């Protein structure tokens, strides 16, 4: 009996191209980085106008996408370019809470905000409004929003420069990421249904 030796070739495993994998990974990271930068903005808080809910020197991630897919809502924390801004560093972007929506009648009476005659429950404010709270009324146009700081006694907001049109709104604050102890999602205050 003779043994027949058959040589069978084993299938070769495809060796991955290490350089190609590295290149694909770098391209993917670059693509993700670009998409994140197109969809978001990082924002640095200066000043006390949003205390007690936001403090100076905190960093936020602001979503540009939220308002491409829907409209701003009352209670949103919004970053915007204030009316009359000429782009100089003396007039930076602002962060405020959205209070009045298009088509609404907004009034300040004795420091209390009224929307279409109904008082607005604002438990998030720092203290009762005493300065820049003169009785006044605004009728918002179909593309106008009214912004106010949570620290009403120390805030330059729509009471000073008037309503903000949607094209001046940069986006909604969604994440607070610095300092580390303040990290978390920014939640919108839910107003009771009227």
- Nearest-CA neighbor of 40 among 22, 19, 57, 60? 60
- Which of 5, 9, 16, 49 is an active site residue? 49
* CA–CA gap between residue 45 and residue 117 (Å, rounded): 33
CB 68 within 8 A of CB 137: no
Active site residue 49: yes
Structural domain contains residue 115: yes
- Which of 5, 16, 96, 131 is an active site residue? 96
- Residue 128 half-sphere exposure toward CB, CA atoms < 13 A: 6
CB 73 within 8 A of CB 50: no
pLDDT band, very low/low/confident/very high, at 170 (cuts 50, 70, 90):
very high
Structural domain contains residue 72: yes
Across the chain, mean pLDDT equals 86
Domain that holds residue 173: 43-185
Q: What is the token pair recorded at 14?
A: 């495809």
Active site residue 96: yes
Structural domain contains residue 194: no
CB 186 within 8 A of CB 175: yes
Total domains, the chain:
1
Structural domain contains residue 146: yes
Q: What is the pTM of this model?
A: 0.78
Structural domain contains residue 164: yes
Report, as an integer, the average pLDDT of 114-128: 90
Supply the pLDDT for residue 89: 57
Supply the pLDDT for residue 192: 67
CB 114 within 8 A of CB 148: no
CATH code of the domain covering residue 128: 2.10.109.10
* CA–CA gap between residue 151 and residue 155 (Å, rounded): 6
Structural domain contains residue 31: no
133 has a pLDDT exceeding 90:
no
């Amino acid at each position: 009996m003779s043994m027949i030796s058959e040589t069978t070739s084993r299938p070769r495993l495809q060796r991955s191209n290490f350089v190609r994998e590295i290149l694909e990974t770098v391209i993917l990271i670059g693509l993700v980085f670009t998409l994140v930068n197109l969809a978001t903005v990082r924002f640095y808080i200066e000043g006390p106008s949003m205390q007690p809910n936001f403090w100076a020197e905190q960093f936020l991630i602001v979503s540009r996408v939220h308002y491409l897919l829907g409209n701003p809502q009352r209670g949103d924390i919004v970053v915007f370019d204030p009316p009359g801004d000429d782009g100089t560093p003396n007039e930076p972007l602002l962060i405020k809470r959205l209070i009045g929506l298009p088509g609404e009648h907004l009034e300040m009476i004795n420091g209390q905000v009224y929307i279409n005659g109904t008082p607005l429950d604002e438990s998030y404010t720092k203290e009762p409004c005493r300065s820049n709270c003169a009785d006044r009324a605004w009728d918002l146009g179909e593309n106008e929003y009214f912004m106010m700081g949570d620290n009403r006694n120390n805030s330059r907001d729509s009471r000073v420069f008037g309503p903000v049109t949607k094209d001046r709104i940069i986006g909604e604050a969604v994440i607070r990421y610095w300092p580390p102890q303040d990290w978390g999602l920014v939640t919108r205050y839910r107003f009771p249904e009227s």
